[in-house]
Chain A
Amino acid sequence: MTSSNTERRRPACRRRADGLGIARLAAIWLLIGGPLLLSAAFMVAYSVGLTGLLAHGLSFAAWAKVLGDRVTWVTLGFSFWVGGASLGVSMLGALIVLARRPARAAPPGRSDLTPWFLPIAVPPMVAGLTAVLWLGNAGALARWAYALGWIRRPADFPSPIYSTGGLGIIVTQAALVLPFLVVLFDRLSRVHRIRELGEAARTLGASPLAAWIRVGVPLLLRAATPTLGVYFLALSGAFEIPLLVGATYPTMLSVRVAQLFGQFDLSTRPQAYALALLYALVASVCAAVALRVRARPPRTERV
């Protein structure tokens, strides 16, 4: 094989490789993007009266109703409040856990974080029921408080369950997400050698707390931004826990969609699709903003 032959073949190989890459990309789009796009298109069609058993032709009445309904915006705001608060509380918890973690590393092949892996497997429904059993007005804590003489009746126990501020949902979701964040932050701190950077800061005179807050935490949060963004959206759109421990009103968005979907009045179905689409739209915008923020280099690098 002469060198000139090789030169002639190279573009062909590259072309084949390019072709394979495009085929792979197309397959991924077909498998993931296709169904998603079709579902979204179906939802759009349903919400504007182009399909559905009770559809009467093109109409934007469902959208007008959803967009003009105060409850829609209360629900959206409440969902993001609960999602943000749940994530904030669990992030704070995870950072405290890692900050208080002893400096020595676990023996090779073993992780001192093993106990944190176990709660990750708990399904949201089980977490919701557990929260009711522990934190409800007739739950385990209330019974202990009664036995100790701190309360006289179930109503005296300050239960976060069914609270209109979403406290029960926040506590339960935060408890569910905390172990995952501990494991995630631990892994990221190893990858980004955050402990070593903290030690460097301490040798330059920073206190352990200052080193953690001013060096470790910003680096960790920056590295975890995409995952945290996804978690924020997932927590804002959660269903089982808000259904089990949430108040009748305000509700989280997914619960509201389910309510509209299953009401006695069948004509509210298009509104359910419109609301779900609205959430998908807002979530997409949030995700795009988060990615753009992530893509921007940090201020120190830009200088």
Chain B
Amino acid sequence: MRARGFAIVASILACAALGACTRAPRGGASPLPATWAGIVAAARGQTVTIAMWRGDPAVNRYMQDVVAPALRRSDDIRLRFVPAQGEQIVSALMTEIEAHRRTSRYDVVWINGETFYQLRQIHALYGPFTARLPNARLIDWRNPTIAEDFQQPIDGYECPWGNAELMLITDSRRVPHPPTDPASLAAWIHRHPGRFTFDTSFTGLSFLKSLMYAFATNPAQLQGPFDEARYRRLRDAVFAWIRSVRPDLWRHGATFPQSTEQLNQLFADGEVDFTMSFTDGEVDHRIANGEFPPTAEGFSLRTGMIRNSHYLGIVARAAHRAAAMVVINELISPRAQWRKLDPAVWGDGTVLDVRRLPPAWQARFAAAAHRAHAPSRAALQAVARPEPSAQLMIELSKDFRRDVLEH
């Protein structure tokens, strides 16, 4: 009897293992037409599902009120937005591949470096496709923060959509002279116990990477392929900095906010004096919405802040590949990029090389409104540092959890 039971369990185990055996990802849609006109014709009447971070009302409004109506009018394409980001997208697509789903629930995914790295690892992205987009010739491909994503060539598997730089935010009434380097920040934290913290998600890790640049003797130390020895040296310097300020962090550094949204809430409630953002226009939006005080101001550490681009990818098993390409082409059009640049709309940096645009568009971009509560784009550019390799992000995330959070 016992032997029979064992045999049953063993066969179930074998069935599960065999049934779940992984096959190479297959495309879920028919081949694309050879010409752009054919792609546009095939895209008509389709609904494209976009997996994107839905945490910023300004971004949501831009997509729903600006992009979606334009696409419906011009190409008869409808957009459906699904809230998902980073690891959620990776997890969902990985599960779909493991479950051998023929078509994905997503068509387009809004991603950046570390997600791109992971999705490429599991062959979840369709490509190369950017060369087929008519508007891709307007992109500033010579800019390394656009053409490379976390030090990886994008190889046509994702299309640049916008770029942004990490920014610290404070209330100028509470902190009239914000610290501008790690040493002065540490001194400020010691003088104001419990008033500073950072989150443990992507933005918080980007803050730690910015500190790595501050401790590097040369920014080039964090560029190029992952270098274990260099990484360890800089990681140790950053962790030593955290340990030195930890007793004076929010809640004595025993716990950290798990997301930027939580950190923003702490800032808005007056529990801490700083928050962070990867959206240049965020301070202006949140002031306009009444979430942040009118005296909130964005600022940078003069030792460097991480600047990166965000991208749009097409899922390998997307059911509406042609329509996905039309959508992405529209999102990198001068019209859509110009509207996105407006701080009242989103305030996101353009990925276009403005010099390649017709003179009328050049004039419009030159006259674009500026953010009132963040440094100018030129000032941000002066301290911009490119993203280190995706491997560094993965190692830093793991080590931060092990050596700081769980220590």
Q: Which A residues are closer than 8 A to B by beta carbons? A: 37-38, 41-42, 44-46, 50-55, 71, 136-138, 153-155, 162, 164, 243, 247-249, 259, 261-266, 269
Alpha-carbon distance A138/B270, docked complex (angstroms): 8
13 more contacts with CB within 8 A, not counting A136-B269, A264-B393, are A44-B16, A51-B20, A51-B22, A53-B97, A53-B122, A138-B269, A138-B271, A154-B269, A164-B255, A263-B87, A263-B397, A266-B94, A269-B94
Q: Are A51 and B12 in contact (CB under 8 A)?
A: no
Q: What are 30 A-B pairs at a CB distance below 8 A?
A: A41-B9, A41-B12, A42-B16, A45-B13, A45-B16, A51-B17, A51-B20, A51-B21, A51-B22, A52-B98, A53-B22, A53-B94, A55-B22, A137-B271, A153-B194, A154-B269, A154-B271, A155-B194, A155-B250, A155-B271, A162-B255, A164-B255, A248-B405, A249-B406, A259-B401, A263-B398, A265-B394, A265-B398, A266-B94, A266-B118
Smallest beta-carbon distance A248→chain B, Å: 5
Q: Are A248 and B258 in contact (CB under 8 A)?
A: yes
Smallest beta-carbon distance B98→chain A, Å: 6
Q: Are A45 and B88 in contact (CB under 8 A)?
A: no
Question: Across the A-B interface, how many residue pairs have beta carbons closer than 8 Å?
Answer: 94
B180 close to A (CB within 8 Å): no
Smallest beta-carbon distance A246→chain B, Å: 8
Q: Return the chain A residue nearest B255 by Cβ.
A: A247
B interface SS class: helix
Smallest beta-carbon distance B121→chain A, Å: 7
Q: Are A264 and B271 in contact (CB under 8 A)?
A: no
Q: Are A162 and B251 in contact (CB under 8 A)?
A: yes
B114 close to A (CB within 8 Å): yes
Question: Which of B16, B88, B401 interacts with A38 by CB under 8 Å?
Answer: B16
Smallest beta-carbon distance B183→chain A, Å: 24
Q: A45 with B17: in contact, given A51-B98, A266-B94 (CB under 8 Å)? A: yes
Which 4 interchain pairs have the tightest Cβ spacing? Answer: A138-B269, A41-B16, A262-B87, A51-B20
Encoded as 1 (CB less than 8 Å from any A CB) or 0, chain B from 15 to 34 comes to 11100111000000000000
- Note all chain A residues with C-beta closer than 8 A to B200: 248
Q: Return the chain A residue nearest B118 by Cβ.
A: A266
Smallest beta-carbon distance A163→chain B, Å: 8
Q: Are A264 and B87 in contact (CB under 8 A)?
A: yes
Alpha-carbon distance A51/B98, docked complex (angstroms): 8
Q: Return the chain B residue nearest A45 by Cβ.
A: B17
Q: A46 with B20: in contact, given A154-B269, A155-B271, A249-B405 (CB under 8 Å)? A: yes
Smallest beta-carbon distance A254→chain B, Å: 15
- Note all chain B residues with C-beta closer than 8 A to A249: 255, 405-406
Smallest beta-carbon distance A132→chain B, Å: 9
- Note all chain B residues with C-beta closer than 8 A to A162: 251, 255
- Note all chain B residues with C-beta closer than 8 A to A155: 194, 250, 271
Which residue of A53, A164, A247, A259 has the most chain B CB atoms within 10 A of its CB atom? A53
Smallest beta-carbon distance B16→chain A, Å: 4
Q: Return the chain B residue nearest A143 by Cβ.
A: B269
- Note all chain B residues with C-beta closer than 8 A to A46: 20
Alpha-carbon distance A71/B397, docked complex (angstroms): 16
Alpha-carbon distance A170/B91, docked complex (angstroms): 30
Residues of B1-53 contacting chain A, CB below 8 A: 9, 12-13, 15-17, 20-22
Q: A164 with B121: in contact, given A46-B20, A138-B270, A265-B398 (CB under 8 Å)? A: no
B189 close to A (CB within 8 Å): no
Alpha-carbon distance A42/B12, docked complex (angstroms): 9
Alpha-carbon distance A164/B252, docked complex (angstroms): 11
Alpha-carbon distance A230/B97, docked complex (angstroms): 35
Alpha-carbon distance A262/B85, docked complex (angstroms): 11
B90 close to A (CB within 8 Å): yes
- Note all chain A residues with C-beta closer than 8 A to B17: 41-42, 45, 50-51
B368 close to A (CB within 8 Å): no
B62 close to A (CB within 8 Å): no
Which residue of B16, B88, B194, B256 has the most chain A CB atoms within 10 A of its CB atom? B16
Alpha-carbon distance A41/B8, docked complex (angstroms): 11
Q: Return the chain A residue nearest B23 by Cβ.
A: A53
